[in-house]
Structure 1
């Protein structure tokens, strides 16, 4: 289930732009109104439904308690979209119970999550309330779809019931995702599709969790004792998701959001081998900010971090979607350009010059001890090298690019140098490996 990312501790609803505040309040009021509108007045819920609601709520509490440590880590390391696994219970409640009891289960689930996961992770309360409201509306939409289809499947031949459950999954995902994406967009937290809607694997995780919720609902309706079998796989899934998320954090540079040097080299090595095997050209660039130490000395290291982040964003914006940008260390960056057309150095030089000019035009606002300042006049020296089709390794191509970079530095900085073919160490010339020369 997608939720809005945490903001600065202590921030409140008043910090949001007015359109976002209006949407948040409308959704919350709408959630309450929708539940009230579907409530059967003067009719008490059936005792069996009350028992089922208590069982589902209790299982959600057990689930959260068993996974609390994992979820706190995931919540802290998440940036914009965050997918928890509590929808296995809220979706099951939506399929099994009348809207009032399903809403009660949602409130229990999210009140407990607030106490055990969200508040310790310093997530603002208004975001949690908004998330609860979106889940209430998503659960109501799922319930209405299943009721329209005639309820849960009654047997193996009940195709309509199965289609109803599938439609309920779609309704739950669409309502929740659209409401959360709208809030993120209006609040200015994120703008890219992955920030607004989550990535494909995140959404696949959500659909998988809802499918488990559907199976839990069927089990509760037919053989309640089987519901205990849902807990082990959902807990294993928690750990698998955590491992993947921590791997992604380890691969990402915390200051710039780019790949770390190790992660970049792993991707670049595969791209170099592919380029040499299939034919399309490839190239690498090493970029070094000129006189970056002066920025740190004059404005402080936090201002320097802002400059690094701005340069990283400019590099990402100045290359193609399939180019790979990484932070090599300090004020050095690297760019891999796979599938580079042409056989000469002109294309690589043009791209490097474009990046050099983009960085020269940067104006970076920074908050310093002297107040808000704008850092401009940045420059970068760039060394590049194309990948030859002679089995040269990534390290050999990087060595040539690094040599070209230092030639740019010695030549006066703020310039581009591209290594020629003869400057790239080649296995055919006996360097790096013992490959015999072909006759």
Structure 2
């Protein structure tokens, strides 16, 4: 679950590489550490007690559990390459589809034995796919929540179910499994982040839907075991397809965003801006464009290095997001140059004067916010304070007869040069021509997305 992955911070160093008193788990806040250790202790006690005193599985149940364990390990091997690819795409969060096997085990085995199978599958998955960037204490907490979920489902089936499990009972087991797993995670998140909202506690909607889908596949897997265990081999390929499909979103994000700042890249920003200006969305309109260029950015790179320059670019990008509205288009055109397309509701009469005033207000707000930035940048020589940043801004307002995007960008670029010549750290706004421009728009980033300085500096 996404909230679980954001929950427990720490290094991904192997457990055996440092002394016990230096394990990352001890760096957690005391209250959070207590909650995590309490849940893990309860899971361990119930697991051991269930294995020692609970119902022993029959021979067919043991066979089913062994098959599920082997298939779970096979899935882990399939997941290795996909997880590495997701990591290469910018640290995208891992995707756990192991609920297929863990929930199936909870349906066909006694609770404690199902929990043991689930623990083995999840630990093998961590060793093979997640060890390099998921700390062991985070994975142990995940194992503990799944162990408790399996034990809870086992108790439900032992007291309510019979030899044949009706559909309503399977659905109830799914709800219980997810409630225990997600509920424990949400409880610990709430300890760490008081007042957290549902999205933080339970994760994104898409990932919860994926979890429900995997539980459904787990129920079908249990049915396949009862009919013919050989049918389980048919589940591996669909799971692999799902595993590959979850790469689509990170790939889309990587293609649309700038890697250093997280803003839209030049090509994507241009495509979105043209859509807005074309009026395909009747609920919004745009009256102009802002083009921003950091002043004396080359001096930052030359004095402190490109790593500090990259940190500055990222900080400016975050500053832009804090100043503009959520629906405004913000992009990085390359180097230290950014663009903003403020979007407004399409209702009401449009005037060049009003658009000019609104554009200047937004530009001045951005200029002042950047001038107030004071960044603490970690370096090999210790923390470095970067202050005194300024930005020059050129704005272009659409003419009464309308202006295309190339005309707006060309006018904004000219206004930006005027702001530079006026002494920098200032704003200039002009009205664009209504004559269609012949300027070619980028279909790819205008410059290499490094932090090198540009001529406007």
* Aligned counterpart, 2:113: 101
| Aligned residue runs from structure 1 range 178-327, under 5 A | 178-180=183-185, 197-274=202-279, 280-327=285-332
Residues 153-189 of structure 1: CA distance to partner in whole angstroms, max 9, x if unpaired? Answer: 75xxxxxx3333334334433443344456567668x
Task: Name the CA shift for 1:271/1:84 in 2 (closer, same or farther; >3 Å).
Answer: farther
1 CA distance for matches of 2:332 and 2:258? 7
* Aligned counterpart, 1:74: 86
2 CA distance for matches of 1:249 and 1:299? 28
RMSD (Å), alpha carbons: 3.2
Instruction: For residue 8 of structure 1, report the CA deviation from its aligned partner.
Output: 4.3
* Aligned counterpart, 1:22: 34
Do the aligned residues in 1 keep the contact of 2:92 with 2:250 (CA within 8 Å)?
A: no
Do the aligned residues in 2 keep the contact of 1:390 with 1:426 (CA within 8 Å)?
A: no
- Give the length in aligned residue pairs: 420
Task: Name the CA shift for 1:83/1:282 in 2 (closer, same or farther; >3 Å).
Answer: farther
1:356 aligns with 2:367: yes
1:413 to 412, 424, 431: 424
Instruction: For residue 387 of structure 1, report the CA deviation from its aligned partner.
Output: 5.0
1:47 to 52, 56, 59: 59
Do the aligned residues in 2 keep the contact of 1:137 with 1:175 (CA within 8 Å)?
A: yes
Structure 2 residue ranges without an equivalent (≥5): 14-22, 441-457
SS in 1 for 2:289: strand
Do the aligned residues in 2 keep the contact of 1:141 with 1:171 (CA within 8 Å)?
A: yes
SS in 2 for 1:28: helix
1:378 aligns with 2:389: yes
Task: Name the CA shift for 1:380/1:107 in 2 (closer, same or farther; >3 Å).
Answer: same
Task: Name the CA shift for 1:101/1:391 in 2 (closer, same or farther; >3 Å).
Answer: farther
Task: Name the CA shift for 1:432/1:296 in 2 (closer, same or farther; >3 Å).
Answer: closer
Instruction: For residue 357 of structure 1, report the CA deviation from its aligned partner.
Output: 1.4
2 CA distance for matches of 1:235 and 1:81? 17
Residues 312-343 of structure 1: CA distance to partner in whole angstroms, max 9, x if unpaired? Answer: 11111212222232222111222232235663
| Aligned residue runs from structure 1 range 82-101, under 5 A | 82-101=94-113
Do the aligned residues in 2 keep the contact of 1:397 with 1:425 (CA within 8 Å)?
A: no
Structure 1 residue ranges without an equivalent (≥5): 155-160, 434-439
